[in-house]
Amino acid sequence: MKYREELIEIANLMVATGKGILAADESNPTCGKRFDQINLESSENSRRRYRNMLFTTPHLEDYISGVILFDETIRQSTFDEIPFPKYLASKGILPGIKVDTGAKELALHKNEKVTEGLDGLRNRLIEYRSLGAKFAKWRAVITIGDGIPTDACIEANAHGLARYASLCQEQGIVPIVEPEVLMDGDHSIETCFKVTEKAQKALFKQLEIQNVLLEGIILKPSMVISGTECVEQASIDLVASETVRCLKNNVPRCVPGIAFLSGGQSDELATSHLHLMNEKFKAELPWELTFSYGRALQHPAIMAWYGKDENESNAQKILHYRAKCNGLASKGEHCKVFEKELV
Ligand code: 13P
């Protein structure tokens, strides 16, 4: 494989000890939803101002190894006219890019989705590499409900993820493979375990079929957790142990790292789950366990910013603090006392 050594090196940098990934790759409609919370109109300029605020956070690189960008963002610049990917790289942060084109309705399968974006992907990856992208992201969405997910949904998404991953590696870009089992619904943690296990098994089978170099990927899974409307919410302890049990059953040892999505968990809960997994199990795990959070990193920062320049430095302090909490959690060294001390 042409880029073998480069892929392994980048993947390992993405999960360097004490660091994780900031997912800032919201599509324009999703960014619009986030801005609705602060009554800010979503425009190319307001999105640039927001991303500029996030990325220019002093010392962000202490806890953030990489940032996932959206197509519009990878082409934008800081207000000193430095392209964002170049600016991030100058801070020692790897620029990444979301390359899927979204989860669309799966034909003949009600309430299920399949992620699209394979058409023309090779050429898009060539361009993204020239713009500085070192890694990419593709998110598959699996919904739990009455009679779903079906095998059709699991298999179609696993196939898409593996085809995407092989195209990325062909172009020297590390693929983040993200099979997200949604938290929406009243299902139990046991059901979530079964579905997550099935999705991960199907994914690793397809990655093998497509010759994907497992040493050169990062897995971005959802945690094994109760549905948001389940009356009995599993404890932090159970989420940590069931998530790790599922990964141990399904993720080959040669995968360098696992970086969780936050999926709608509160920022503190997402930190606590990651912390406990590492505190309890780190010594026995072959891979790094870290974060690739979107909402759980950005939410407190966007609320503090509220679209106003005068709030920028406070919002940056809050983002840095959240990144620090998660950086420590990725080493199993975050504790509640610390969380309170620094608020
Ligand atoms: P959340 O952490 O908000 O789930 O976002 C992570 C992500 O990149 C989803 O694709």
Span 161-173, average pLDDT = 99
The amino acid that residue 30 corresponds to is T
* Residue ID of nearest Cα to ligand 1 atom 4: 263
Whole-model pTM: value is: 0.97
Torsion 187-244-222-112 (CA) sign:
negative
Q: How far is the CA of 297 from the centre of ligand 1 (A)?
A: 10
Domains of the chain: 4-339 (3.20.20.70)
Span 323-341, average pLDDT = 85
Q: Choosing from 113, 198, 220, 324, which is the catalytic residue?
A: 220
180 strand-pairing partners: 141
Please compute Rg for the chain using Cα positions: 19
Which tens digit of pLDDT belongs to each residue from 188-202? 999 999 999 999 999
pLDDT at 335: 76
CB 25 within 8 A of CB 261: no
Q: Is the pLDDT of residue 5 over 80?
A: yes
Residue 98 Cβ < 6 Å to ligand 1: no
Q: Choosing from 26, 178, 242, 288, which is the catalytic residue?
A: 178
Residue 96 Cβ < 6 Å to ligand 1: no
Q: How far is the CA of 218 from the centre of ligand 1 (A)?
A: 14
- Estimate to the nearest angstrom the gap between the alpha carbon of 214 and the chain centroid: 18
CB 272 within 8 A of CB 258: no
* Residue ID of nearest Cα to ligand 1 atom 10: 139
Q: How far is the CA of 272 from the centre of ligand 1 (A)?
A: 17
Query: pLDDT category, 340, cuts 50, 70, 90?
Result: low
Three-class DSSP category at 85: helix
The amino acid that residue 133 corresponds to is A
Torsion 244-297-36-177 (CA) sign:
negative
Q: How far is the CA of 292 from the centre of ligand 1 (A)?
A: 7
**How confident is the prediction for the chain on average, in pLDDT?**
97
Ligand 1 atom having least distance to the Cα of 260:
2
- What angle, 0 to 180 degrees and rounded to 10, lies between the N-to-C axes of helices 312-329 and 44-55? 60
Span 151-163, average pLDDT = 99
Burial (CB < 10 A; 0-12, 13-18, 19+), residue 235, is exposed
Q: Is the pLDDT of residue 150 over 70?
A: yes
Which tens digit of pLDDT belongs to each residue from 97-144? 999 999 999 999 999 999 999 999 999 999 999 999 999 999 999 999
Residue 23 Cβ < 6 Å to ligand 1: yes
Which tens digit of pLDDT belongs to each residue from 24-56? 999 999 999 999 999 999 999 999 999 999 999
Residue 70 Cβ < 6 Å to ligand 1: no
d(C-alpha 216, C-alpha 212), whole Å: 8
Nearest CA-CA partner of 97 in 65, 126, 73, 64: 73
Q: How many CB atoms lie within 10 A of CB 149?
A: 24
pLDDT at 337: 58
- Of 184, 261, 265, 297, the residue with max ligand 1 atoms within 8 A of its CB, to mutate for a pocket test, comes to 261
Query: pLDDT category, 341, cuts 50, 70, 90?
Result: low
Pick 148 or 342 by higher pLDDT.
Answer: 148
pLDDT at 339: 63
CB 267 within 8 A of CB 300: yes
d(C-alpha 53, C-alpha 40), whole Å: 15
Confirm whether 86 is a catalytic residue.
no
Q: How far is the CA of 1 from the centre of ligand 1 (A)?
A: 30
Ligand 1 atom having least distance to the Cα of 293:
2
Per cent of the chain over pLDDT 70 is: 98
Angle at Cα 39 formed by Cα 36 and Cα 42, nearest 5°? 60
CB 110 within 8 A of CB 149: no
Beta strands in 61-111 (DSSP E): 64-69, 94-98, 103-105
Residue 77's region, left for phi above 0, alpha for psi from -120 to 50, else beta, is beta
Q: How far is the CA of 180 from the centre of ligand 1 (A)?
A: 9
Confirm whether 178 is a catalytic residue.
yes
pLDDT at 336: 61
Residue 262 Cβ < 6 Å to ligand 1: yes
pLDDT at 114: 98
Ligand 1 atom having least distance to the Cα of 295:
3
Residue 332 Cβ < 6 Å to ligand 1: no
